[in-house]
Amino acid sequence: MVLLLFVDLDPELAALRPLGGFFVLRTGAAPRGPLPTLARTYENPASDVYGNSLTFRVHAVAERLQAPELRIAASIAQQALAARLCSVALGCAALYGRIPDLDPRLLHWDADSSAPDDLWLAEVRPLPAEALADAVLHGHLEPLTAALVAHYRMSTGLLWGNAASALAGAARELDRWARTRGRTDVATRARALAAELLAHPLLAGTGTLTGTAFRRRSCCLYYRVPGGGVCGDCCFTQPPGSSPRATSG
């Protein structure tokens, strides 16, 4: 039997700070002034690069990586945002036993910044860990997927594969962090929560989870940027064209 040692969900989510990077979530007012909420971001992305945070981020990623198509940049941008959301929520659920309300109207996004300064939560409202799927999958990843499919004609299978990859990666990092500090309770809970989410209808079939290792059935398209290759959990073992092609979902 594993004893779960939870702490109270504090207003600054301080327990996430030692994890660093993708797990940290700033709370309160953003120091650089008002930022658009993710609820606004998920609204139909504008064609004007400065008209919507999601459009701005996609174009910024495309320019930085010299992506030959915007949908490649959209895929990479979506996976990065999914990784932030999954890491924050899973980290809170594993460490606190609860999650903050991640309502897109409370969560602000700076599309011109990177983790951990890109997301700010206006107010910390505790929710049970059982609300994880509603908070992340339904509250964020569904509207984000819908926006990208509508504007960039993305494959839903690719985008949900990205989300599953982001979730598995967050669980793997949290498991590694917890084990090196003797927090087997956190490691066990993180793995169990991730496995439960990966079995959710929106993510089921996106890949295979073995322990903390995940092999997805789709590809994020990173291999198509100059100098890019395949990720560790990709359905391809080598970039297409250099080896027999695997089936992509």
Lowest mean pLDDT, pick from 5-14, 117-126, 154-163: 5-14
Q: Please choose, from the candidates 110, 106, 132, the residue with its C-alpha nearest in 3D space to the C-alpha of residue 119.
A: 110
Please give the share of the chain, as a percent, with pLDDT higher than 90: 76
Q: Please choose, from the candidates 74, 75, 86, the residue with its C-alpha nearest in 3D space to the C-alpha of residue 169.
A: 86
Give the residue-averaged pLDDT of 212-223.
94
Q: Please choose, from the candidates 102, 92, 107, the residue with its C-alpha nearest in 3D space to the C-alpha of residue 193.
A: 92
The answer to whether the CB of 221 falls within 8 A of the CB of 154 is no
Question: pLDDT digits over 219-240, tens only?
Answer: 999 999 999 899 998 998 888 8
Domain ranges of the chain: 14-207
Give the residue-averaged pLDDT of 168-182.
97
Q: What is the pLDDT of residue 248?
A: 42
Q: Please choose, from the candidates 41, 47, 45, the residue with its C-alpha nearest in 3D space to the C-alpha of residue 118.
A: 41
